[in-house]
Homo-oligomer: A and B are copies of this chain.
Amino acid sequence: MTKAPEKNRIRRKDRILNAAEALFAKHGFEGVSMRMVADSAEVDLALASYHFGSKRGLFDAVLLRRAEVLNDLRLAALEKCQAEAGGNGPSVEAIIDAFLHPLLGEGLQADEGWLHYFELIAQVNSSYEWGGQLMTKYFDPLVRKFMEALKAALPDAEPQDFYWCYHFLSGALTLTMAHTGRIDQLSDGAVKSEDMVGAYERMVPFMAAGFKKMCEKG
Question: Which residue of the partner chain, among B30, B198, B207, contacts A210 with CB atoms under 8 Å?
Answer: B207
Question: Which residue of the partner chain, among B126, B140, B172, B180, contacts A132 with CB atoms under 8 Å?
Answer: B180
Give the CA-CA distance A166 to B108 in the complex, in Å.
Answer: 25
Residues of B contacting A140 with CB < 8 Å? 185-186
Residues of B contacting A126 with CB < 8 Å? 122-123, 126, 174-175, 178, 180
> Interface residues of A toward B: which range?
35 or more
Q: Are A187's CB and B214's CB within 8 A?
A: no
Residues of B contacting A207 with CB < 8 Å? 168, 210
Q: Are A214's CB and B210's CB within 8 A?
A: no
Instruction: Report if A26 contacts B (CB, 8 A).
Output: yes
With A128-B25, A202-B214, A210-B206 in contact, do A176 and B186 touch (Cβ < 8 Å)?
A: no
Give the CA-CA distance A187 to B206 in the complex, in Å.
Answer: 23
With A28-B30, A173-B171 in contact, do A199 and B164 touch (Cβ < 8 Å)?
A: yes
Which of A57-65, A83-91, A155-163 lines the interface with chain B? A155-163
Give the CA-CA distance A189 to B96 in the complex, in Å.
Answer: 24
Interface-centre pick from A26, A160, A175, A184 (highest chain B CB count, 10 A): A175
Which chain B residue has the least Cβ–Cβ distance from A28?
B28
Tell me the minimal C-beta distance from A182 to chain B in angstroms: 5
In the complex, besides A131-B178, A164-B202, 4 extra interface pairs with C-beta distance below 8 angstroms are A132-B180, A135-B182, A160-B191, A209-B214
- Supply 20 A–B pairs (Cβ within 8 Å), ascending by A: A28-B30, A125-B180, A126-B174, A126-B175, A126-B180, A131-B181, A144-B186, A159-B190, A160-B190, A163-B191, A164-B198, A164-B203, A168-B202, A169-B172, A171-B172, A171-B173, A174-B174, A205-B214, A207-B210, A208-B213
